[in-house]
Structure 1
Amino acid sequence: MAAKDRLAEYRAKRDASRTPEPRGRGKRKNGPVFVVQRHDASSLHFDFRLEIGGVLVSWSVPKGPSLDPGDRRPAIRTEDHPLGYADFEGKIPEDQYGGGTVVVWDTGTFDVLTGEPAEQALADGHLKVGLHGEKLTGAFSLIRRHSDGQEQWLLVKKDDDSADRRRKPAKTRPESVLTGRTNRELE
């Protein structure tokens, strides 16, 4: 499937004349990139995105990523986003889909650790990646669970040198890694 086709659902949910969100695919350098955006909409959650196949494949993680390998964070698969979204921070109007504030909570590059291309690992329902970010580093797995309706996944930190059962950056470090701003400061 072409990247343009993969963005049809994204575009259908947004009114380009009303929201500052990126519309096009954009191009990334030094990829592949990951981004975690702290999104304060109808509820506070974190959007975990990986550059795969020319788009940002996306999951909503209600409690945010954890550095504790014992935590199994539910991750709900959402629509693919354009690559330009990786740098997006701002306020989405309340009457628009996802209305609320968005900051880039963490970003960096990643390596696929599953021994097969990311697209295949995603289709198989088990993708293991090594993140190279400011707040998140080391290996994480995304594992698809069987359920009805939306694709349900788990985001799990692997037990490696960057694992930490005490640090809770999703709770203690709300600021953007790009601007230092918090969601509250964007309101």
Structure 2
Amino acid sequence: MSLARYKQKRNFGETTEPFAGKPAKGKHIFVVQRHHASRLHYDFRLEIDGVLKSWAVPKGPSLDPADKRLAMQVEDHPYDYKDFEGTIPKGNYGAGTVYIWDKGTFELLRDDGKDFDKEALKEIKAGDLKVVLKGRKLKGEFALVKMKGSEDNAWLLIKHRDKYVKEQYDSEDYTPQRVKEQGLREKAAGSKKKAPSASPHRSR
């Protein structure tokens, strides 16, 4: 996947979504964005090889190891997307409200101390990426595992059992009420359609 697909899907004359961005040297960042589009989901993004490798998680990430969250891999996003939140206008791809739900840095669980990006890409290609998240809400070890015998982009996001486990976790419980209400208002406004006009009766 590359940024070409990301750019093809967007009209940058209408949306304020970032066009590019170059990562800073040092720690690698992750971001989780709550995206209230036609369907509510959470976008889980990891900075790898200069871009944000991205997965859409319909039910949101969880700190409960019992929850194996479906994560659909989508196109890479530019690095500057890590700071994006706001409204994608109606008529544009992904129209709806974007809220930065969590952000922080991450490490590879199997870090050999050599080439971070090369190892991360290797794990993604193998369908078994293990990371340690250091966010405000998401902390500790997680695994992204590609599902076998399913769609090519279907993965599972799973929390490892460690000191950060929280059972019966619901990401919506950690979302501000104002954000939930804004998303509902904008979705309702976008779904309003003009009532069809009544057909005139033909005279006999």
TM-score normalised over the length of structure 1: 0.88
How well do the aligned residues superpose, as a CA RMSD in angstroms?
A: 1.9
Larger radius of gyration: 2
Q: Aligned runs of 1:1-187 on 2, under 5 Å?
A: 6-28=2-24, 30-115=26-111, 117-147=119-149, 149-168=151-170, 170-175=171-176, 182=179, 184-185=181-182, 187=186
Unaligned stretches of 5+ residues in structure 2: 113-118, 187-204
1: CA distance between counterparts of 2:143 and 2:31? 15
Change (3 A) 1:183 1:18: farther
How big is each residue's C-alpha offset from its partner over 1:109-164, in whole Å with a ceiling of 9 and x where there is no partner?
A: 00001346111111111001000000100000000012454410000000001011
Unaligned stretches of 5+ residues in structure 1: none
1: CA distance between counterparts of 2:94 and 2:152? 17
Question: Sequence identity, in percent?
Answer: 47
Kindly state the Cα deviation for residue 107 of structure 1 after the two structures are TM-superposed. 0.3
2: CA distance between counterparts of 1:26 and 1:137? 25
How big is each residue's C-alpha offset from its partner over 1:74-101, in whole Å with a ceiling of 9 and x where there is no partner?
A: 0000000000000100100120000000
Q: AA paired with 1:128?
A: K
Q: How many residues align?
A: 178
Q: AA paired with 2:130?
A: K
Normalized per residue, which structure has more helix?
2
Deviates more, 1:34-43 or 1:113-122: 113-122
Kindly state the Cα deviation for residue 31 of structure 1 after the two structures are TM-superposed. 2.7
Kindly state the Cα deviation for residue 167 of structure 1 after the two structures are TM-superposed. 4.1
Change (3 A) 1:149 1:68: closer
Secondary structure of the residue aligned to 2:7 is helix
